[in-house]
Structure formats: structure tokens, C-alpha cells
Structure 1
Amino acid sequence: MNIALGDWSVSGNRAQDAAAQGTPLAIHASGLVKRFDGVTAVEGVDLAVPEGSVYGILGPNGAGKTTTLRMLLGIIEPDAGERVVLGSDRPHEIAHAIGYLPEERGLYPAMKAVEAIAFLGALRGLPLREGRRRGRELLETHGLGHAADRQIRQLSKGMAQQVQILGTLVHRPRLVVFDEPFSGLDALNQGRLERMIRGLAEQGTTVIFSTHVIAHAERLCDEVAIIAGGKVPFAGPVDLARDRIPAQVRLETRERDGVWRAALPCDARHEGNFWFFPLPETGIEPLLRALIEGEAGILSLSIERAGLHDAFVAIAGEAAARALEQDNPVEAGA
């Protein structure tokens, strides 16, 4: 199945490509559609998430991220399309193998932290006694041992969220699904969560998370799905998304003119002593040769690959990018 948006497309053959490379999939979804009261929230989403990878669903609030995750987990059923999660087309029946952190956080305020973790594990089939043992172990490991016997109402918002994250992991799932996990965390705890996600992947756990913060996806993800308006115009490796935009060359020369200028691309932009232009398809070597032979006097030359933010703008469009920036003004101003 192919879904086309302008010049961008995502192919349902990603699953076939993964199979050909011997890479098993933790999640394979094809043509997922969901409507609410006649309004289409998600339209024809295809995803292929390799086992052991960190996979991001990136888009502004209201793009369809949460609806997509809930369909994958069987919390809501799609109106059309198919999904297979850890080999099952009935993901709610394998809940013991999945950890899920919903966007709407919620713990019983009177529960002690360790009991909250054990309770969340019990919902996934873990015996309470074992959940308490693992809960204390997790709290100690993550620097929260002092809070084990404190009530949730006595914890800061960030600490309570960390407790819920640990409750998502206590039953040692094969697949972890986080919906906007960084929301509400300060910079220090965001860093801790990033390290936790990397650690899970190193252990072979598949992690999929939704976010409207491009920086988290760029730092963590092997692959991403860019979602806007309920559609996915791109799904695949982060590097492939970035490579859709040619790398940019920044050249500084001592000389301002000479025969070497004929070697510059016609769309080169001149600012002061610097030239800016896309990396030629022939590579940088022929240009370097012409610059040297023409005695341009190269003072500096750098090649910069496009970032994921630039790729998002090119793939999803300016309107989606503006919505993303409105959701996260701190990153937009960084």
C-alpha cells in the first residue's frame, strides 16, 4: 500500500524490506484508519517498527499520534486496516509483554510509590509480591529509593511521573510504548529518561514513543514516522529523512573573484567572504580541485547535513512545522 502526499510517499513495503534483511518486526501496521463522529482522525497509516529499535512518532498536538498508538495497542479498534504487534493481531491479549505510559498520567494519590509500581505491574500479570521487590529495586537504581514508602501525593510532579514510568517497566515488557513521555519533566529528568530509553534498547527492548519535540526524536530514534493531519508522509530511518534535503556547503575564500567561480553551482549564495550552496551531486572533490587550481584561497569549507527539523518542514509542510513550534516554543526559540 502506498500513501502519497505531494512528492513524498511512505510505502507499505517497509515490512517486506525488513523481512528481506532478516530484521523481525515488533509492530507492523497497514492502512490504519480511525474516525470519530464522522471526522477522520487517522487516515491510512503504515508503520514497520523493527525489534529492538527506538522508534518515534513525530508531529504536532492533534496530528493523530495518540490515536495511532491506541490503535496499535488495541485500546481502540481501527475502522480499517490491520496491525500485528509482537506477532499478534490482538494486542490486548498480550498485554503482559507490553508496557504503556499514556499521555494522561494517573496514580492513586494515597498509594505509596512502591505500591503504585507493584499495582501497575499487577495489571500486566506480575504478582504483587514480585512487583514490590522489583519496584524497590527500580527506585533504588534510579535514585528514588528514599521515596519508596512515600505517598504519591507527597512527591513532586516529576518524581510521580518517574514512578509511573517505572511502573510501566516493572513487568519487563518486550515492547514499551510511551505517549509524550517527556511532557512535564524538567531538563534533568528528561536526560534521565533519554538514558533509560537507550538502556532499554541496548537490552533488546523495542521502544516506541510519540513526541512533538524534534530534539528528542533526533537524539534517540533509529526510525521515525512523521505524522500531520492524521497522515504519515514519511516513515523510515532518521538518516533517510535528513537525506531528502541536500547537504549544504559553507565555503570561505580569500579571493573574491577568479576563474574558479565558474565551478560554483548557479544557485550559490554569496554573503561577505562566504558562499553557501547545496552539495553538488558529483560530490565535493571536483569543486575542490577547481578551487585549488583557480587559486581561490580556501580559508574554510564545511559540509552540513540537514537536521531533522529541516526534514520535518520539507516533508510535513510549513503549517505542520508552525504547529509543532507552537506546541514547543522553547525548542523553537533555541
Structure 2
Amino acid sequence: MLEIDSVTRRFGDLTALDNVSFSVPEEAFTGFVGGNGAGKTTTMRIVMGVLAPTYGEVRWNGSPITRADRAEFGYMPEERGLYPKQPILPQLAYLGELHGMDARSAREAALELLTRFNLGERTKDKLEKLSLGNQQRVQIAGAVIADPKALILDEPFSGLDPEAVDEMFAVLTEFTKRGVPVLFSSHQLDLVERLCDKIVILRKGQVVAAGTVAELRTAGETQHRIQAGADLGWLRGTPGVTVIDLDGPEAVVTFADEQSAQAGLAEAMRRGPVHSFGPIVRPLSDYYREVTR
């Protein structure tokens, strides 16, 4: 498990991270979301040792993280870090060698990844000759080539079409199944909602929410939708009920507690047929806007 514990980072008078704490469990995708300048990239750079925290620490498997630990991590920076005017196959092989692979194994692994990413016929092409989406594929290949123990990916799906996202996710899933924790940042909330086991939301350098998608969707006040066969105007003024929206036989309400909800349902059924009654599952984007305002 990767743990970020009470990490603060200051740049002069600017506090980029303020007491940030969260964990990235093994066998799981953890999505890291927040607006521009929220502190996502700074956090990832601290995890990888590119920046040092002003306070706090990063732990790997319960102990302070070391340079040797980080050497076994796969990292994909937000800024494409490969050389645009160099062929892609030798670049990937070189990255593998930097992680301790022998030259032959590194080249074979690079060729296997490029073939899997439908770039097997472009191994001699310079990176700049590829589309942005294919450049992103090469970047991800560089992050996973040496069989990393953890993956830190900054905007890995940027520029990828839906088919390519599924392709990359399938590759990364192979690592989580082996116990590798994956932390990735993204501005694509629908993508994070679909792919992640856990989500951490940053706002102005602080963690404002963390949990599973289900936990965040149901956080805060739960709204219920009622569709009945008779007018629901009687809900107004009913103890324990707050009407959010009401249009004849349809209403959106909140209940003070479970007892009020059951009483409301019983009364609705007494007055006529009830076609549907249940909590509204809101999208992650609604909760995100709520906590980052």
C-alpha cells in the first residue's frame, strides 16, 4: 500500500498542498481528481521524489519510502517525457534498462508492448510522427515496461478515444490483479467514475473527499423520487419531509430519517397506487461540484 501522510508543500508564500493524507490500496485503481492548480501533479511529484514535502511523509508498505522503492515504480508525468525526435522502440528499451532490465529483455518487452498497442509496424518512427493518442500509448508503455510495483500516472488517458481507453485500462488491470496499486489523475469525471475503485478529490491543496464511487454518490443528503397515481401535494407540510420539486403525481423530496421515509411511503400508498419510490443515485459530477465550490 502507498500512503500519503499529512503532506504539506509550500513554494514561498504559496501553500500548494495543505496536510494531504490518503492511501492507495493494492489491487485497486485510485482516481485523483481536482481542478487546475488543486495540487494533483505536486502530490505525484512528491510521491516520486521529484519534489520534497515541506512537512509530512510518503510511506510504502508501512515504512518511509526510499529511493530504491521509487526505482521500482512506474511513473508517467503530465508533460510527455520522451524524446520527440528519437525512434520509439529504442527509447522504450532504454527506459527498461534504466529500471535494471538487461538490453535484450528490455527490447523484447518494448516490442511486445508496442505490438499490443497496434504500433508494432512503427517501431522505427520518431515519437513526433505519431498522433497525440499514439504518443500517449507510448508513454504508458514506458511506465509499465519494467513490471512496476506501483503505478503513478498523471493524466494517462488524455487524448485517447474510448476504444484506446478500454485498451489501456485492460493493460493496467493486469497489474492491479497482481496487487499493484494504481494512482492516476484525470479531469474526465465520467471516466474516473467508471474505472476507479476509490476516488480522492482535491480542492486548493486539500483533500475534500475520499471514498468509493458508491460512498461519494450517496454522501450528504439523500433525495427520493416518488411517482404515484394521485397528486402528491399533501407532501408539503408533512413532518419530516422537505419537498425539493413537485409536479402533480411526481415529487422529489428529502426525508429527515428512515422512519419519515417509511411513513411517507405508507401514506402515499394509502392515497392511491405508487409506481416508484426510491433514492436518487446522483452522478459523481454532482458531488464533485458540491465539494469543490
> Does the TM-score normalized on the shorter chain lie above 0.5?
yes
Q: 2:275 aligns with which of 293, 296, 299?
A: 299
Alpha-carbon offset, residue 148 of structure 1:
2.5
Alignment of 1:103-122 (within 5 A): 103-122=78-97
Aligned residue in 2 for 1:36: 11
- Between the aligned partners of 2:221 and 2:172, the Cα distance in structure 1 is 30
1:151 aligns with 2:126: yes
Q: 2:143 aligns with which of 168, 172, 181?
A: 168
CA contact (8 A) 1:258 1:294 kept: no
- Number of aligned residues: 291
Cα distance change of structure 1 residues 122 and 95 upon mapping to structure 2, 3 Å threshold: farther
CA contact (8 A) 2:34 2:202 kept: yes
Alpha-carbon offset, residue 190 of structure 1:
2.7
| Range moving further from structure 2, 125-134 or 235-244 | 235-244
Q: 1:137 aligns with which of 91, 112, 124?
A: 112
SS of the aligned residue for 2:226 comes to strand
Alignment of 1:80-229 (within 5 A): 80-229=55-204
Aligned residue in 2 for 1:79: 54
Aligned residue in 1 for 2:258: 282
SS of the aligned residue for 1:270 comes to strand
SS of the aligned residue for 1:93 comes to helix
Q: 2:284 aligns with which of 298, 308, 319?
A: 308
SS of the aligned residue for 1:313 comes to helix
Aligned residue in 2 for 1:67: 42
- Between the aligned partners of 1:146 and 1:285, the Cα distance in structure 2 is 64
Q: Note the alpha carbon deviations across 1:297-316, whole angstroms, 9 max, x for none.
A: 22344432232222222323
One-letter identity of the residue aligned with 2:243: D
CA contact (8 A) 1:33 1:81 kept: yes
1:234 aligns with 2:234: no
Alpha-carbon offset, residue 87 of structure 1:
4.7
- Between the aligned partners of 2:65 and 2:174, the Cα distance in structure 1 is 28
Q: Note the alpha carbon deviations across 1:205-261, whole angstroms, 9 max, x for none.
A: 210011222112211222222111111122333322222133332222221158787
One-letter identity of the residue aligned with 1:97: E
Aligned residue in 2 for 1:328: none
Gaps of 5+ in 2: none
One-letter identity of the residue aligned with 1:50: P
Alpha-carbon offset, residue 272 of structure 1:
4.3
Alpha-carbon offset, residue 108 of structure 1:
2.0
CA contact (8 A) 2:29 2:176 kept: yes
Alpha-carbon offset, residue 165 of structure 1:
0.6
Cα root mean square deviation, aligned: 2.4
Q: 1:252 aligns with which of 220, 223, 227?
A: 227
CA contact (8 A) 2:265 2:277 kept: no
TM-score scaled by length of structure 1: 0.79
TM-score scaled by length of structure 2: 0.89
Aligned residue in 1 for 2:24: 49
- Between the aligned partners of 2:130 and 2:233, the Cα distance in structure 1 is 68
Query: Alignment identity in percent?
Result: 31
Q: Note the alpha carbon deviations across 1:137-181, whole angstroms, 9 max, x for none.
A: 122223222222333233222112101111110100010000111
Alignment of 1:255-270 (within 5 A): 255-256=230-231, 262=238, 265-270=241-246
Cα distance change of structure 1 residues 103 and 272 upon mapping to structure 2, 3 Å threshold: same
Q: Note the alpha carbon deviations across 1:76-132, whole angstroms, 9 max, x for none.
A: 110111111245524432233200000000322343322221122222222222111
